[in-house]
Amino acid sequence: MTQRTVKISFSDSDRVIELPLLSGSIGPDVIDTRALGSHGIFTFDPGFLSTASCASDITYIDGDQGLLYYRGYPIEQLAEHSDFLETAYLLLRGELPNAEQKEAFVGKIKGQTMLHDQMVNSFKGYRRDAHPMAVMVGVVGAMSAFYRNSSDSFDPKQRDIAAFRLLAKIPTIAAWSYKYNIGEPFAYPQNKLGYAENFMHMMFATPCEDYVPNPVLARALDRIFLLHADHEQNASSSTVRVVGSSGATPFACIAAGIASLWGPLHGGANEATLKMLEEIGDVSRIGDYIKKAKDKTSGFRLMGFGHRVYKNMDPRAKIMRQTCYEVLDELGLHDDPLFKLALELERIALEDEYFVKKRLYPNVDFYSGIVMRAMGIPNSMFTAIFALARTAGWVAQWMEMISSQDHKIARPRQLYTGSVRRDFVPIEQRG
Ligand code: SDX
């Protein structure tokens, strides 16, 4: 089949540059601009609004249709029929596991949930009131100092060991960041428990009494992990790819991903959404906040709304809203005022001309905080849980990047707008 191309012509000369036009299996075509630099010209796209940074087989999003596929499987089907570790296998290996493969994968993760005992001291270097995300960035980065036989990103064997260590230990690190914050003793992983149950155990168990995770809540939490597992080239996954492109250790890459996710415009939005709902407080005040969100000078944004890619309802938000109903019913909280407030805020916003015109819909962060709060998880842990879940996607993206035939260190260029060449002026001659 003949190569499709794009021709760039210039209004001020008869120069024409021809570039290849590439197609994926689904989704928009891309112009391969790699050769553009040799013509002495760059593309300019701060924030990467129209830039594909890589080719990837992992996750596909159609923002207009509100579609999300992990390795081709719709998120709705995975949320209903699969579980987080099976989905993590899918993201990492590209196919759903058979029963034997799943058992071996889960068994390998269960066997590595403990941290090197010396790592306990990594937590003690923080103030007790440190945000769990600050602790997670540090402790995950410190894994490079403890697991040196899985730090060489260019060695496929070490990559696989690192992947299992990260998936197995991130729940322990997240839960212990919380335990350290509230001054309770660390609860060690119980490998007889499932992945979500074990996390709940490490979050809520104390030496003084038995703790049995509620199976309905554990299933809901596992689904929350699954929904957050990957999301193609979002800010934190792109961060992991850029950091990883230099050959940095896998632990340094994931620590960088956690740092990026923490931002309130990204994964920190779930915590910010709950704070916003608590601040609105009552349905009667929704109008004021909608008005503030539409007033550019206010600097206020409706947290949990809008998305760079989704210009339709985030499919994860729909599933999260359903999970809200299930969890609140299980807990006898169907009249939870915050949930009712969120439903009313969503209804009003979706009827408001500003939000309709700008195609701003609830995203994954709009309902997740309500579910987690109802489960007794504090606001400060919402993004930590997002990071726990996204570790599966970050590892899959990192593995795809570092093992790619086209692997190159990420090194964007720029449009220089600073001073042209000028000579140094001795201090006595300066104004
Ligand atoms: C996540 O990328 C991913 O995939 C991320 C994520 C993942 O799984 O990894 O999906 C997770 O990060 C979800 C997003 C969580 N963030 C929030 O909920 C924070 C609130 N939303 C935003 O600030 C905003 O919508 C972003 C950051 C999510 C998207 O920003 P964009 O694509 O850069 O869009 P923009 O800031 O240029 O906004 C476009 C317009 C602007 O108005 P104009 O300048 O065109 O007049 O929409 C307005 C914005 O002012 N706008 C909002 C708004 N979001 C955008 N106005 C009010 N409230 C909002 N929430």
Catalytic residue among 365, 406, 407, 423: 365
- Topology of domain 53-407 in CATH is Citrate Synthase; domain 1 (1.10.580)
Q: What is the pLDDT of residues 273-303, one digit of tens each?
A: 999 999 999 999 999 999 999 999 999 999 9
Could you tell me if the CB of 301 is within 6 A of ligand 1?
yes
Could you tell me if the CB of 303 is within 6 A of ligand 1?
yes
Do the beta carbons of residue 319 and residue 367 sit within 8 Å? no
Q: Looking at residues 66-74, what average pLDDT do you find?
A: 97
- Cα 306 to averaged position of ligand 1 atoms, centre (Å): 4
Is 129 a catalytic site residue? no
Q: CA-CA distances (angstroms) from residue 219 to 36, 214, 373, 415?
A: 50, 9, 16, 49
- Determine phi and psi for 179, rounding to 5 degrees: -60, -40
Q: CA-CA distances (angstroms) from residue 253 to 258, 388, 389?
A: 9, 14, 15
Do the beta carbons of residue 120 and residue 186 sit within 8 Å? yes
Shortest CA distance to 166 belongs to which of 155, 181, 180, 151?
A: 151
pLDDT of residue 234: 97
Could you tell me if the CB of 364 is within 6 A of ligand 1?
yes
Domain covering 5-51: architecture = Single Sheet (2.20)
| Per-residue pLDDT band at 33 (split at 50, 70, 90) | very high
- Cα 144 to averaged position of ligand 1 atoms, centre (Å): 34
Do the beta carbons of residue 361 and residue 345 sit within 8 Å? no
Could you write out the DSSP letters of every residue in 132-188? HHHHHHHHHHHHHHH-GGG--TT-HHHHHHHHHHHHHHHHHHHHHHHHHHHTPPPPP
CB atoms near residue 393 (< 10 Å): 26
Domain regions of the chain by residue span: 5-51, 53-407
pLDDT of residue 51: 97
| Residues pairing with 6 in the sheet | 19
Could you tell me if the CB of 250 is within 6 A of ligand 1?
no
Interatomic CA distance for residues 273 and 293, integer angstroms = 13
- Cα 63 to averaged position of ligand 1 atoms, centre (Å): 13
- Cα 371 to averaged position of ligand 1 atoms, centre (Å): 22
SS3 state at 6: strand
| Residues pairing with 59 in the sheet | 70
Residue nearest to atom 34 of ligand 1 (CA): 308
Catalytic residue among 131, 201, 231, 307: 307
- Cα 177 to averaged position of ligand 1 atoms, centre (Å): 29
| Residues pairing with 60 in the sheet | 69
55: tokens are 């080719």
Could you write out the DSSP letters of every residue in 15-69? -EEEEEEE--SSS--EE--GGGGGGT-----GGGTT------SSEEEETTTTEEE
Interatomic CA distance for residues 431 and 150, integer angstroms = 57
Mutate to test the pocket of ligand 1, among 300, 305, 312, 365 (most ligand atoms within 8 A of CB): 305
- Determine phi and psi for 21, rounding to 5 degrees: -110, 120
Mutate to test the pocket of ligand 1, among 59, 226, 301 (most ligand atoms within 8 A of CB): 301
- Tell me the whole-structure pTM to 2 decimals: 0.94
| Per-residue pLDDT band at 1 (split at 50, 70, 90) | low
User: In 291-311, which positions are buried (b, 16+ CB within 10 angstroms) versus exposed (e)?
Assistant: eebeeeeeeebbbbbbbebbb
Q: What is the pLDDT of residues 359-416, one digit of tens each?
A: 999 988 888 988 999 999 999 999 999 999 999 999 999 999 999 998 999 999 999 9
The percentage of residues in the chain with a pLDDT greater than 90, rounded to a whole number, is 90
323: tokens are 């999970």
